[in-house]
Amino acid sequence: MKALQFSASAAKFIVLKPLGALFPSLFYRGPLATVKYIDIKEPTLPGPDWVKLRTLMCGFCGSDQNLIFLKDSPTASPFTSFPCVLGHELCAEIVEVGKKVINFNVGDRVTIAPDLTCTARGIDPACPGCRAGRPGCCENTAKGRLAPGMFAGICKDVGGGFAPYLVAHKSQIYKLPAGMSLETACMIEPLGVTLQAVLDNRPTADDKVLVIGGGVIGNLIVQSIRALEIPCSITVAELSRFHAELAARAGADHIVTDGDIPGAACQITGAESYKPLLGKSILMGGFTKIFDCVGHTDTLRAAMRAMAGGGTLSVVGIGNEVKLDLTPLWLKLQTIKGVYAYGINLVDGRREHVFETAIRFAATGKVHLHEMVTHTFPLTRYQDMIEINMRKSANRAVKTAVSFT
């Protein structure tokens, strides 16, 4: 079968980083490309507790783009394995069921929680993260019966959604309601990420929330807060007017498009600005909860300076190495939280996996996902999809996806 396969090495990293800065298309076109559309073997079930899936639609994640352009820190490389088929935001149809799989049948439409945890890896006893109901904190993603890989799409033994077929462990799959559109279904994974981020840094009605970045994840942070029926003030800082308008429709109260986060904090929260001998101003007062969906040095610096004393900053965006002045951290007793993957939470009186919450919210209209998928492509046009993502605002793109139907 034909699939979009990613491969990288230290040598390719050294060669492509300087050349790709001048000619970005080298990352996805030509002999040096990190991704190629090639023939690979159709997968078979790794064991009796797995299912085989036929991909229907798979979203293109910002993390996929970062991987293709080698923007990720090498620090995470021990927990990945190449070559691998990309794609983890998917909906699919079950075409084969292992003998130890119950409650799922051929023909069921499902999505998958991509994380490859102790359960999928056959590790018993499970690690502390998995036992605590936080599979995103699994400590064994480089161990067990599978090659290293935190999730499907970056593990060479488990295919991703940019192929006609892949396999998934029974612990990963979640049935989709009848009639749910493919566009909505392939957005369940990113919604799961943002719901978990909000539940881990849950605002109260009195909080002044700042969301930095109004793309897919920033928009879904806003939608997640509103779906949880939290009537707090939400400000979104987003340079693209197109994406800023969508954030306002999603439920944001204030929009900042000029990049002046400290100025917005003074105006919206009543914070006071103080000018040091050198460098940018620092505020007393400010936003009480911040979700940085960019994760770069400049946004993190601005967030820490504009965050109130005792505030919490969730780093949702995956940036590379950053350089920070940590003075605001101790001066204002701030908390900085990492955000990654999924967990089991108590929501509306139910203890459920965040994917179950995401599916429930999507099915009942608490969030609006279908219209966020603005562009779909056949897999053969993956290069066009990448280029649309390189200029999202100009192309009025939100989520792009590969369709196999």
For 389, the enclosing helix (H) or strand (E) is: helix 382-390
The reported pLDDT for the residue numbered 340 is: 87
Yes or no: say if 314 and 337 are a contact pair by the CB < 8 Å rule.
yes
Same domain, 80 and 217: no
Q: Is residue 53 part of a domain?
A: yes
Closest CA to 113 of 198, 174, 201, 36: 174
Q: Is residue 308 part of a domain?
A: yes
The reported pLDDT for the residue numbered 318 is: 84
Same domain, 287 and 386: no
pLDDT value at 235 more than 90: yes
Q: Is residue 36 part of a domain?
A: yes
Same domain, 181 and 329: no
The reported pLDDT for the residue numbered 169 is: 98
The reported pLDDT for the residue numbered 10 is: 86
Same domain, 208 and 101: no
pLDDT value at 368 more than 90: yes
Same domain, 182 and 287: no
Same domain, 391 and 303: no
Q: Of 285, 316, 338, which closes a domain?
A: 338
Q: Is residue 120 part of a domain?
A: no
The reported pLDDT for the residue numbered 72 is: 86
Q: What percent of the chain lies above the pLDDT cut of 90?
A: 93
Could you tell me the pLDDT band of residue 9, with boundaries at 50, 70 and 90? Answer: confident
Q: Of 338, 355, 377, which closes a domain?
A: 338
Yes or no: say if 198 and 224 are a contact pair by the CB < 8 Å rule.
yes
Same domain, 183 and 110: yes
Mean pLDDT to the nearest integer, 393-400 = 97
DSSP-assigned states of every residue in 182-232:
HHHHTTHHHHHHHHHHHHHT---TT-EEEEE--SHHHHHHHHHHHHTT---
Same domain, 159 and 274: no
Per the structure, the count of domains in the chain is 2
Yes or no: say if 98 and 170 are a contact pair by the CB < 8 Å rule.
yes
CATH number, residue 221 = 3.40.50.720
The residue type of 69 is: F
Residue for token digits 């790794």? Answer: 46
Q: Is residue 204 part of a domain?
A: yes
Mean pLDDT to the nearest integer, 168-191 = 98
Closest CA to 195 of 382, 369, 61, 394: 369
The reported pLDDT for the residue numbered 64 is: 96
Q: Tell me, yes or no, if the pTM score tops 0.85.
A: yes
Same domain, 235 and 277: yes
Same domain, 204 and 309: yes
**Domain that residue 334 falls in:** 193-338
Same domain, 169 and 242: no
> 84-85 and 89-97 as β-strands: parallel, antiparallel, unpaired?
unpaired
- Residue pLDDT, tens place only, 352-366: 999 999 999 999 999
Q: Is residue 7 part of a domain?
A: yes
Same domain, 89 and 161: yes
Q: Is residue 146 part of a domain?
A: no
Q: Is residue 130 part of a domain?
A: no
CATH number, residue 391 = 3.90.180.10
pLDDT value at 341 more than 90: no
CA atoms within 13 A on the CB side of 261: 30
